Amino acid sequence: MILAALSGVIAATRIPLAPKYLYYFDSVNFALALEEFNPTLHQPQPPGYPLHVAVLRMMRPVISEPERLFIAVGLLASVFAVALLWWLGELMFSPRAGIAAALLLAAHPVFWMACLSNQVRLWLAVGAAGVGIACWRALSGSRAGPAFVWACALLGLFAGFRPAMLIMLTPLVAYTAWRARPGWRWVVWGAAAMFAVVGSWLSLTAAAGGGWSQFARLTLDYSRAEFSPGSALFGAGSRAASHMFIAAAVWTCIGVPSWIWALAAVRPSHWLSPRTLFLAVWLAPAFLFHSIVHVGDPDHTLVSITALCLAGGALLASLMTRLNKEGWIMATGFAVAINVVIFFLPMTGLAGATGFRAVEYVDRATRETIASIRQLTGAGPAVLVCYKCFVTYRHLSYYFPGTPVAVLRQDYDHDPRDKPAVWLIRGRNWSEPEIQAGTVMLPPARRIIWVLSPYDPAAHAVLSRSTDVRQAGPVYWTPVETAAPVRFGAYTLAPSPAAPQAAQPAALSN
C-alpha cells in the first residue's frame, strides 16, 4: 500500500515537469534507435545500452511518442529503484530504514532530474540496489552460494542497461565472494552466469555495431573522446582533472545535507560495522571512477547516490531510539523536504546542474528555438546553420528532417579549406558540402537560419556584422533574395543559385 502511494507520488511529481521535446543529444539518439539499433550511427551512442532500448521498444506499442515513452520508462525505472532500495534497507537494517531510504531516493534532486532528462541513467540506481540485495543475502543468509550466483547474474543483466556498472559494482561482488566464502564451485558458477548474461546482450550489440572488431574500436574511440576532457588518465590537464573531481564530489553528495544531521544520534562505536563496510565497498569504487575517469552529468553518480540514500535511511531509523513514532515521521519528513528544496532551489555552478532550474532552462530554450524555426521554415525552404547549438544539431535534424542542417566546426575562425570544416545533414544522411572559391555552397533555400550558442557573444557579434541578418526569437535568419554570401568568421556561406519555388513545410514529430 505504501509502495503504491509512493509510486503515485513519483508519477505526480515527474509528469507535470516533463520537457515537451527530447531533452539531451543522447535522447535523440535513443529515439532514432527505436527505428534502427546501430551504435555505429550513434543510434544510440556507444556502447549501445541494448536492454534499455529493448524496454523502450517493448513499451512503444502502448506509447508511440518518444517524448512520452521516455518519461514512462523513467517512471518504471524510478519505481523499481525505490522498491528495491526499500527492500535492501529492510534486509540490512530495519523496515523504517527501508522506508526512509526509499523516500530519500525518491526525492533526491539528481534521481528526480534523471527521470525528466536522461532516463537510461536511472538503471544505475536500479542495478545498484538489485545487486546490493543479492550480495547482502549472500553475506547474511545460510545459502550464500545461490545468492552469490544471483548477484553475478544480476550484475551482468543490469550492465546491459549501463555497462559502466561492471566497473563500479564488480568490487562489491568480489568483496561478497571473499567475505561470504560460498566455495570455489559457486564462484565459478557465478562468474559463468555473469559472462553468459553479458555475452548474450554484448554479442547482439556487437553484431549491430558491425562486428566485434569494429564495435570494440568504436567503443574505445568513443570512450577516449568522452574521458579525455576531464581525466588525467586520458591526457587532461590538472585544472580540468581537479574540476572533474570537484564535480564528482558535489554531485555525489548533493543530497547528504538532508540527513547528515542525524549522525549525531549514532554512537561512534556503531560507525564501524559490517554494514558500514558493505556500504563503503559499494560507494568507493563508483566515486573513484567518477572522480578520476569520467563524470559528465550529475546522474552519472546514481550508483553512489543510492548507497548514500541507504546510509541516510539507516541514520534516520536510528532516531527511533530517541524519538516516538510521530517525532520520527516528522524527522524523516524534514529530511525529504530538504531534498525537495534542493531540487527546486535556484543555484549556480555545479550544484545548479542538479535541479529543476536546469531542466526548465533547457526545456524553454528548446521550445522557443523549435517554435521560431517552425515559423521561419513555414514560409519556404530553408537551411539551418548550426554553430555550438544549445539546441543540438541532432535535435534540429530530428525535428526538421526535411530541412538541411549545416554544422560548422566549433571554431568559426577555422580555415574551411581544411576539411571537414562543415558537415551537411539531410535527415539521417551526412555529407560535406561543395566549396567553390572558398565559399561553402549550401543547398538551395530562401532563408539561412542561424542557430548559435547563447554562451558565445563573440559569435553573435560576428554574425550581426553580416549583411541583412535578422533575429527571430533565439535564432537569426538571412533572406537569400536580398543578401550577398554571408561571412561568418573564416567562412563564407551561400545557398546554391537554383532555389526551389514550392514551399516545403517542416516535418515535426509532435
Q: Are residues 289 and 429 in the same domain?
A: no
The answer to whether 224 and 216 are in contact (CB under 8 A) is no
Are residues 385 and 347 located together in one domain of the fold?
no
The identity of residue 277, as a single letter, is: L
Residue 270 shares a structural domain with residue 398: no
Domain end call among 323, 354, 385: 354
| Statement to judge: residues 324 and 397 lie in one domain | no
Residues 436 and 476 in one domain: yes
**Is the residue at 367 inside a domain?**
no
What phi, psi does 382 have (nearest 5°)?
Answer: -140, 170
Residues 6+ apart with CB under 8 A from 63: 69, 72
474 close to 486: Cβ distance less than 8 angstroms? no
How far apart, in whole angstroms, are the C-alpha atoms of residue 240 and residue 229?
7
pLDDT score of 416: 47
Asked, for residue 505, whether it belongs to a domain, the answer is no
Last residue of a domain, one of 321, 354, 387: 354
Do 299 and 398 belong together in one domain? no
- Nearest 10 degrees: CA dihedral of 362, 127, 88, 191? -160
H helix intervals, 141-237:
144-159, 165-180, 184-208, 212-227
In a domain, 252, yes or no: yes
Q: Given CA atoms 349, 167, 56, 308 in this order, what sign does their dihedral have?
A: negative
Q: Would you give the distance in Å from CA 417 to the centre of its chain?
A: 36
Residue 365 lies in a domain: no
pLDDT tens, residue order, the chain (510 aa): 778 888 999 999 999 999 999 998 999 999 999 999 999 999 999 999 999 999 999 999 999 999 999 999 999 999 999 999 999 999 999 999 999 999 999 999 999 999 999 999 999 999 999 999 999 999 998 799 999 999 999 999 999 999 999 999 999 999 999 999 999 999 999 999 999 999 999 999 999 999 999 999 999 999 999 999 999 999 999 999 999 999 999 999 999 999 999 887 776 655 668 899 999 999 999 999 999 999 999 999 999 999 999 999 999 998 887 888 899 999 999 999 999 999 999 888 999 999 999 999 999 999 999 999 999 998 888 999 998 888 999 999 999 999 999 998 765 454 545 545 788 888 888 888 888 888 888 888 888 999 998 888 888 888 877 767 888 999 999 888 655 688 887 788 888 775 444 444 343 333
* Domain assignment of residue 76, given as a range: 2-354
Both 102 and 9 in one domain: the answer is yes
Please indicate, yes or no, whether residues 73 and 182 belong to a single structural domain of this protein: yes
- Tell me whether residue 14 is in a domain: yes
Tally of domains in the chain: 2
Shared-domain flag, residues 386 and 350: no
For residue 463, tell me if it sits in a domain. Answer: yes
381 shares its domain with 414: yes
Residue with cell 525505490: 82
Whether 287 is in a domain gets the answer: yes
Q: Which residues pair with 425 in a beta bridge?
A: 405, 430
DSSP letter for each residue of 367-423: HHHHHHHHHHHTTS-EEEEEES-SS-HHHHHHH-TTS-EEEE-S-TTS-TTSSSSEE
Residue 341 lies in a domain: yes
Cell of 305: 547516490
CA angle at 88 for the pair 289 and 337, rounded to the nearest 5°: 80
Cα(469)–Cα(478) distance, integer angstroms: 5
CA torsion sign for 266, 269, 275, 277 is positive
Q: Are residues 310 and 398 in the same domain?
A: no
Q: Decide: 452 and 476 in contact? Cβ < 8 Å.
A: yes
- Where do we find the cell 526512509? 100
Whether the CB-CB separation of 119 and 67 falls below 8 Å is answered with no
Q: Helix crossing, 66-92 with 50-59: angle to 10°?
A: 120
Statement to judge: residues 393 and 309 lie in one domain: no
